[in-house]
Structure 1
Amino acid sequence: MNYKANLVTQKLETSLFQDIFTPQLSRLIDIFKKHNYELRIAGGAVRDLLLNMSPHDIDFATTATPDQMKEFLKAEDIRMINLKGEKHGTITCRIDEENFEVTTLRIDVETDGRHAEVQFTTDWQLDALRRDLTINQLFLGFDGTVYDYYNGINDLREKKVRFVGDAGERIREDYLRILRYFRFYGRISEVENNHEAETLMAIKENVSGLSNISGERIWVELKKILDGKYATSLVKVIYDTGVSTHTGFPQNGNLKELDIVYERSKDLKPSPITLYSALLSDEEDAAEAKNRLKMSNEELGLIRFIIKYRTLLPDENRLTWCQDSIYLEVPKKETKPTVERVKELLKYMGDSETLKSFSDWTPPKFPNLGHKLLERGVKSGPTLGKILIQLKEKWKESRYLYGEEELLEYAMKIKDKIK
């Protein structure tokens, strides 16, 4: 569905809106007003305030160009930092330890689906047109007036997620917008699977463009999708539209396993990485995902841990197994269990009872006995190593209750038997 520009305004009068007015922001507003340039809040912060949510970040838009901002901010003795965004129209200024990102209104002159050459403008409507979704093209004046050019207020009220204007055009300006659509659908919509056919068609026709988007940017969006509502149904749409082929999902992702894991773990708040693991069959899938998505070693470690131990976790004495796993010695190529990884594995399995018991348990630390064993006549080298291995086994048998004295006493009993 295409929307023609039709300016609608609405007054926003909430305590959350009033809370954003710090002394530093008030000074910024006064400076722009003094130099006769318009300044408004832009995008996501406006959306969040309309949803009666406190915005995490506030971005600002202005009719002043970067050169004009630099000139009058310098005259007002305002410090400017991180000038790398200047060519895209963004100036970051710092007032009493508070940073403000202010971006000149702009239009995209030329895009390659990843980056855009921009031209500055003073037309708020043209800037709204270049934004991705109707709910993200809103502006907010400091008198509380919300400016809406493309039906965003109504779409937000009806919990609809739509592209501004022609969906295909918006996607071709930045192919990552395909994933942003799914992310915001999981955040805003109140209906699990009510996508407009025209939107899905535009996505299908443009999925190949995602191949040129960096893995890091894709991975950020995928984690947010998996962390939102309707994760399983959105992943199915991602497969149905061909988006999966270009975004680090395994070719034959285990959608059935994802459904099972999502249902049994949803009340336990699993990591999105834990949910993603359900789609992967083996280490080969994990390695391919790592290569495409450029995920961190820690993230890959969690995925490898879940893939290996989801079939090895016993049905009986599970808490004991989880506690013991923290002290497993594993080959370098394998993933070492940690408290957090074991917790995520239990979430994956939907085992809330063991998860609670394990979370309430503080893993004890094996005493540092090497120096004291040497003082008691134990030879260094292989003999010392073998004794320490046996002491750790004895410590484990005691359910980690033996302290330093008990372990040293046991060491003295066995030291002459170790060769």
Structure 2
Amino acid sequence: MAINLTNRLPVQPWMQADGARRVMRALNAGAPDSARFVGGCVRNALLGQPVADIDIATKWEPEEVSRRLKDADIAVHLTGIEHGTITAVANNQPYEITTLRRDVSTDGRRATVAFTTDWAEDARRRDFHVNALYCDLMGNLVDPTERGIADLREQKIAFIGDADTRLQEDYLRILRFFRFNAWYGSGKLDVDGLGACMRNRSGLESISVERIWSELKKLLAAKDPRVVVEAMSRTGVLQFVLPEAIGLDLFNALVALELEEHLEPDPYLRLLSLYPKEMDIVAADVRRLKMSNREKNRLLTTASDETDFSKEFSAKNFRSTIYRIGKDVFLGRARLAWAVRGREANHRYWRVLLQSAEKYERPDFPISGEHIIAVGVPEGKPVGEVLRSVRNWWIEEDFPSDVALIARKMRELAEEVKLREGAPSLQID
């Protein structure tokens, strides 16, 4: 993991952007060093990793931040002003700006804060040393805890100050500890932090399931989270957030497969690999975690599919199966089935199968309900019955493209339904 170890961060594209310069100049006008970039953007830039969100810390209190931004014709959104946070939008880029703070009181979910002008005091209330790094517009680094850069070099995720205290300020930090280890750690978790997570895991009961799922999803998206998830299991944290998890064998096999085959990590399949293949259990936890509808559909359709992947697909069977269950479900189920087989798998077959599925383009079925009504089938259930029958025939015949042939079959099946329904018949050509 490459890291710049000097006291200067080479100027980054996101620092040179017009929006960033406008915001920083507005905050520093007449009072240099009143604002610095902080947290993830600094950390990731040092690691040579992509920067998504740009956070800024400032000595100014929110009202003054807002005034200065508006005077510079920068849009202001009061997204978290009760905690000292304002979002500025400059040149279509959001910048989250937070006044330097110190905690007055905490309850494990949220903190009552007081504003300060002391950078070191602000740093001490943050979670990990690697997240308490600051830099100015020219890339000059400030490491108030004097351990941020060193911990990045060692790929160490360690709490600032007493680990139990940090967790009791916000119990979500338990999952953040594991998530940051999965993304930035060496694989050797900090002993003090790990022990504190085990002692305080019951505090996760006070955290909303939406926040838990958000952290868990990010953790599962890491390139290789096997060591971290094993540590979660050893400390009882995994069982606390996923009580129905049955073991790590399939999870470990799936991650190993993704690494060996250079497959993009799939947090949803990784989650499914932790569960028994029992639909009611999976469905209950999907509902409990309060996922988005898109996420629910993805997980439940994959979990409920009963396609037999134990036998190799013929070309025709592949086309009919992927059409019926959909490309995403097919890809997910195939990857899980490949992981189950492990070393015994015919890897060439599975590679070709997944590559074919990735390239698959679903053919358009040329018949609609309007076509069926036009040949005299009564509206309602009879139309749906004919439509299903024609589509099933089309799939079984391997998706013929001859429209005249399909229309003839449609009329033939329509006549059978009309005869049963007592509707007038047409001569079939």
What TM-score, normalized to structure 1? 0.87
Q: For 1:304 and 1:415, how far apart are their aligned partners in 2?
A: 35
Whether the 8 Å CA contact 1:369–1:404 is kept in 2: the answer is: no
Q: Is the 8 A contact 1:63 1:105 kept in 2?
A: yes
Aligned to 1:271: 266
Could you say which residue in structure 1 is the equivalent of 2:309? 313
Is residue 280 of structure 1 aligned with residue 263 of structure 2?
A: no
Secondary structure of the 2:51 match is coil
* Residue deviations 1:92-123 (CA, integer Å, cap 9, x gap): 23334443221110001111111111000010
Aligned to 2:239: 245
Q: Which stretch of structure 1 is more off in the superposition, 178-187 or 392-401?
A: 392-401
Which segment drifts farther, 158-167 or 25-34? 25-34
Residue type matched to 1:280 in 2? Y
Matching of residue 195 in structure 1 with residue 195 in structure 2: no
The separation in 2 between residues aligned to 1:325 and 1:59, in whole angstroms, is: 47
Would the aligned equivalents of 1:12 and 1:146 in 2 still touch at CA under 8 Å? yes
Change (3 A) 1:301 1:383: closer
Equivalent-residue separation in structure 2 for 1:369 and 1:44 (angstroms): 52
Q: 1:288 to 1:412 in 2, by over 3 A?
A: closer
Q: Is the 8 A contact 2:309 2:334 kept in 1?
A: no
Displacement of 1:168 = 1.0
Q: Which residue type is aligned with residue 264 of structure 1?
A: L
Determine whether 1:259 maps to 2:252.
yes
Q: Which residue of 1 aligns with 2:387?
A: 388
Deviation digits for residues 118-159 of structure 1, max 9, x if unmatched?
000010001001111110000002232111122010110111
Secondary structure at the aligned position of 2:233 is classed as helix
Please list, as runs of the form range in 1=range in 2, the aligned pairs for 1:132-147 lying within 5 A after superposition: 132-147=127-142
In structure 1, give the amino acid aligned to 2:123. A
CA contact (8 A) 2:320 2:396 kept: no
User: Quick one: distance in 2 between partners of 1:347 and 1:285?
Assistant: 21
> Aligned residue for 2:329?
341
Please show how residues 151-190 of structure 1 align to structure 2 within 5 Å: 151-190=147-186
Q: 8 Å contact 2:239–2:245 — kept in the other structure?
A: no
Q: Which moved more, 1:402-411 or 1:57-66?
A: 402-411
Contact kept? 2:43, 2:130, Cα under 8 Å: yes
Taking a change above 3 Å as real, the CA distance of residues 233 and 73 of structure 1, as seen in their structure-2 partners, is: closer
1:3-402 alignment runs, 5 A limit? 10-14=6-10, 17=12, 19-36=14-31, 38-74=34-70, 76-150=71-145, 151-190=147-186, 192=187, 194-247=188-241, 249-266=242-259, 267-281=262-276, 282-309=278-305, 312-317=308-313, 320-328=316-324, 337-350=325-338, 351-381=350-380, 383-402=382-401
Please identify runs of 4+ aligned residues in structure 1 that moved more than 6 A.
Answer: none
Partner of 1:333: none
Q: Structure 2: where are the runs of 5+ without partners?
A: 339-349, 421-429
Matching residue's letter, 2:391:
K
SS at match of 2:367: coil
| Cα distance, 1:134–1:85 mapped onto 2, change above 3 Å | same
SS at 1:82 equivalent: strand
> For the structure 1 residues 313 and 64, does the alpha-carbon distance in structure 2 shift closer, same or farther, using more than 3 Å as the test?
same
For residues 143 and 263 of structure 1, do their structure 2 counterparts lie closer, same or farther at Cα, with a shift above 3 Å needed?
A: closer
Tell me how far apart the structure 2 counterparts of residues 397 and 362 of structure 1 sit (CA, whole Å): 18
Matched position secondary structure for 2:80: helix
Cα gap change, 1:81/1:142 in structure 2, threshold over 3 Å: closer, same or farther? closer
Identical aligned residues as a percent = 32
* Preserved contact between residue 61 and residue 104 of structure 1 (Cα < 8 Å): yes
CA distance in 2, matches of 1:377, 1:80: 61
Q: What TM-score do you get using the length of structure 2 for normalisation?
A: 0.85
Contact residue 46 and residue 140 of structure 1 kept, 8 A: yes
Q: Which residue of 1 aligns with 2:341?
A: none
Amino acid at match of 1:348: L
Output the amino acid matched with 1:137.
A
Give the drift of 1:220: 1.1
Match of 1:332? none
Q: 2:121 and 2:396 mapped to 1: Cα distance?
A: 71
Q: 1:374 to 1:338 in 2, by over 3 A?
A: same
SS at match of 1:119: strand
How far has the Cα of 1:411 moved from its partner?
3.1
- The answer for the alignment partner of 1:334 in structure 2 is none
The structural deviation recorded for 1:245 is 3.4
Q: Bigger relative contact order, structure 1 or 2, given CA contacts below 8 A and separation 6+?
A: 1
Deviates more, 1:379-388 or 1:237-246: 379-388
For structure 1, the residue ranges without an aligned partner over 5 or more in a row are: 1-8, 329-336
Instruction: Give, in whole Å, the separation in 2 of the partners of 1:236 and 1:317.
Output: 35
Q: Which residue matches 1:5?
A: none
The separation in 2 between residues aligned to 1:97 and 1:235, in whole angstroms, is 38
Deviation at 1:67, TM superposition (A): 2.1
Q: Compared with structure 1, are the counterparts of its residues 56 and 397 closer, same or farther at alpha carbon in structure 2 (3 Å cutoff)?
A: same
Deviation at 1:173, TM superposition (A): 1.1
Q: Conserved in 1, the CA contact under 8 Å of 2:389 and 2:413?
A: no
Counting matched residue pairs gives 398
